[in-house]
Amino acid sequence: MNDHLTRKQLIERAALGGAAITFPGLLAACGGSSTKAGGGSTTVEHKLAKTLNFSNWTLYMDVNKKKHTFPSLIEFEKKYGVHVNYTEDINDNASFFGKIQGQLSRGQSVNRDIIVLTDNDRYLALTIKKGWAEKLDKSAIPNMKNLVDVQKHPNFDENRDYSLPWQSGMTGIAYNDTITDPVLSIDELLESPKLKGKITCLNSMGDALTIVMLANGDDPTAVTDKSFNAAFNRIKKAADSNQIRQFTGNDYAPILARGDLAAAMSWSGDIAQIGNDHIHWNVPTDGGALWTDNMLIPKGGDVYTASFYMNYVYDPKVQGLMEAGDPKRDITGIYYIPPVAGAGEFAKKSDPSVANNTLIFPTKKMLDSVKIFDSKALNNQKYLEQWQNLISG
């Protein structure tokens, strides 16, 4: 059939046709039709849209488990007449970015007004840098004043022009006390012969390297080739000697609870949600990692409505209830670390036990010992390749 085409023509045509059918394009196409984003949309219309399309991670919203509803969203709908189309379709940053990047790179809308990406992965910074995020309408977010100080000037978005934290979490060590004595340091986790083949390491480079660098006495907020290599080689050694059994996302949690693992590099919220008395989570003795999920408005999203919703969740009263839930009304909270100052006071009122849980409202000592990974190192292709080669064999 291609006798009549030159090779160049064939490739050009294939590329034209293929552009519409790339793998990420196909995946994204399942999400809905692709309408044009309509250029840069610099002028913001101060009118609420009928629907807010919000994509978030699973188990990341206050929920009434009996009625299978999200109380804070229902409240928002009732109050402002905006229907929230809430989808839990983000499982990891890379795959979600893979789904949306094809359309965004062609200037098409992904039919979402808010998405949530994590600062311990490269894609948040990349989305902003590529110009694929809309500027927030700060005039619609007076409650932004409640943003906790530590989150005000991250290096991927110095003035919070494009992003606002949704929730934060910590990376540390979890252990199962039916299998092992307390495991509190990276030294024990990676080198104790008793734990050989009984531990997992997180596959997120930022998380794993932060806590190993701290154990090495290096600074994870300003990574150098030397500190990278030291931490990388230490993990590689543990993997090569079969100390580390697997590299995992949050799928380590059920394996740990079942007792196949003695200990694991672990995210605080996973353990708070498991609620198993035998699983304990700690910030490692040399310090842990802090990461934050951030709300973004992808190009073509409704800026005013999205900003308006962000303002709603930045009300400490709303945030407090979202965080702690309300046992009297069968509402389970989010159980991660809220970025809104004053939320703790309101959380105490609805569920004092949650407000006293240090996994959710960490002590100052805990917060002082957790660090945020260098975002430049997250985008270092050489580091990323080395890391991926380690974890994918």
Partner 1 sequence: MSLFHRHRGLTPYLLLAPGVLFLAVFFVVPLGFLGYQSLQSGNIDFGYAFTWSWGNYWTAIQDYRAQFIRSLEYAGIATLLALVVSYPVAYWIAFRGGRWKNLLLLFIVAPFFVTYLIRTLAWETILSDNGFVVNTLQSLHLLGPSGRLLATSTAVVTGITYNFLPFMALPLYVSLEQIDARLIEAAEDLYASKLHAFLRVTLPLSLPGVVAGTLLTFIPAAGDFINAQLLGSPDNHMIGNVIQSKFLELTDYPAAAAMSFILMAGILVAVFLYARAVGTEQLTGSAA
Q: Is 45 in the site for partner 1 (CB under 8 A)?
A: no
Task: Tell me, by CB under 8 A, how many residues bind partner 1.
Answer: 39
Q: Which residue lies nearer to partner 1 by CB, 13 or 237?
A: 13
Least distance CB 374 / partner 1 (angstroms): 17
Residue pair 144/246 in contact (Cβ under 8 Å)? The answer is: no
State the nearest-atom distance from the C-beta of 237 to partner 1, in Å: 13
* Residue 30 contacts partner 1 per CB under 8 A: no
Give the residue, chosen from 58, 87, 95, 155, that forms a contact with partner 1 under the rule CB under 8 A. 95
Q: Determine which residue in the list 14, 58, 153, 222 makes contact with partner 1, applying CB under 8 A.
A: 14
Stretch binding partner 1 (CB under 8 A), from 133-141, 241-249, 302-310, 360-368 = 241-249
What single-letter DSSP state applies at residue 135? P
- Continuous segment of H or E residues that includes residue 53: strand 51-57
List the interface residues with partner 1, window 246-265 (CB under 8 A): 246-247, 251, 255, 258-260
Residue 386, H or E segment: helix 381-391
Please state, in angstroms and rounded to a whole number, the distance separating the CA atoms of residues 350 and 323. 10
Segment near partner 1 (CB under 8 A); pick from 45-53, 91-99, 161-169, 344-352 = 91-99
The token pair that represents 59 in the structure block: 């188990």
The interface with partner 1 within residues 193-222 (CB under 8 A) comprises 197
First to last CA, the chain: 41
CA pair distance 11, 2, nearest whole angstrom: 11
Angle between helices 225-240 and 205-216 (to 10 degrees): 100
d(CA 62, CA 71): 7
Shortest spacing between CB 33 and partner 1, in angstroms: 18
- The correct pick among 81, 193, 217, 393 for binding partner 1 (CB under 8 A) is 393
Angle (deg, nearest 10), helices 205-216 and 381-391: 100
Instruction: Provide φ and ψ at 345, rounded to 5°.
Output: -60, -45
4, 6, 17, 39: residue in contact with partner 1 (rule CB under 8 A): 17
* Chain residues 371-390 in contact with partner 1, contact rule CB under 8 A: 379, 381, 384-385, 388-390
Nearer to partner 1, 330 or 385 (CB): 385
Smallest gap from residue 41 Cβ to partner 1 (A): 24
Count CA atoms closer than 13 A to 278's CA, side-chain side: 15
Nearest to 371 by CA among 170, 227, 197, 217: 170
DSSP state of 143: G
Assign 354 to helix, strand or coil: helix
Piece of the chain touching partner 1 by CB under 8 A; list 33-41, 89-97, 161-169, 318-326:
89-97
Query: Does residue number 74 form part of the binding site for partner 1 (CB under 8 A)?
Result: no
Please state the closest distance from residue 14 (CB atom) to partner 1, in A. 3
Identify any residues that bridge with 115 across adjacent strands, giving them in sequence order: 296
Q: Where are the beta strands (DSSP E) in 249-324?
A: 263-267, 279-282, 288-296
Sites of contact with partner 1 (CB under 8 A): 10-11, 13-15, 17-19, 21-23, 94-95, 97-98, 101, 126, 129, 197, 239, 242, 245-247, 251, 255, 258-260, 379, 381, 384-385, 388-393
